[in-house]
């Protein structure tokens, strides 16, 4: 298996623009997580899905952030409108199921908002 695949690897956008990050989890994994990593706050869980259903989005910073999982093999994290403080590395991770604790991470998307 290719592992968790994220795209793009790097994104530079202007403040106010919409940004969409994409993730393909490992085939057969039923849980998907979105994390954000910054120097100041470390790795923060934004939202996670189980069987394509959002379970906990309490980590989503504000209404500008939204995430969807239309099917078992695809998820998006959207920021609209983007702001400079959203600059970070965004990781997607997946695990076998809700009770399985071993999460496997993608390579991340480095987002820079100027």
Among 11, 29, 32, 33, interactor with other proteins by CB under 8 A: 33
Distance CA 20, CA 75 (A): 10
Distance CA 38, CA 108 (A): 12
Contacts to other proteins from residues 78-107, by CB under 8 A: 91, 93, 98, 101-107
| Residue 25 found at the interface with other proteins (CB under 8 A) | no
Q: Quick one: CA torsion of 5, 6, 8, 12, rounded to 10 degrees?
A: -150
Can you give the binding site for other proteins, defined by CB under 8 A?
Answer: 4, 31, 33, 35, 41-45, 48, 50, 55-56, 59, 91, 93, 98, 101-108
């Amino acid at each position: 298996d290719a592992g968790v695949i994220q795209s793009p690897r790097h994104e530079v956008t202007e403040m106010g623009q919409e940004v969409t990050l994409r993730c393909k989890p490992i085939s057969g994994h039923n849980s998907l997580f979105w994390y954000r990593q910054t120097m100041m706050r470390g790795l923060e869980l934004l939202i996670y899905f189980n069987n394509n259903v959002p379970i906990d989005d309490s980590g989503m910073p504000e209404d500008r952030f939204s995430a969807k999982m239309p099917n078992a093999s695809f998820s998006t994290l959207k920021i609209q409108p983007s702001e400079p403080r959203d600059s970070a590395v965004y990781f997607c991770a997946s695990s076998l199921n809700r009770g399985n604790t071993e999460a496997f991470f993608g390579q991340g998307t480095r987002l820079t908002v100027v």
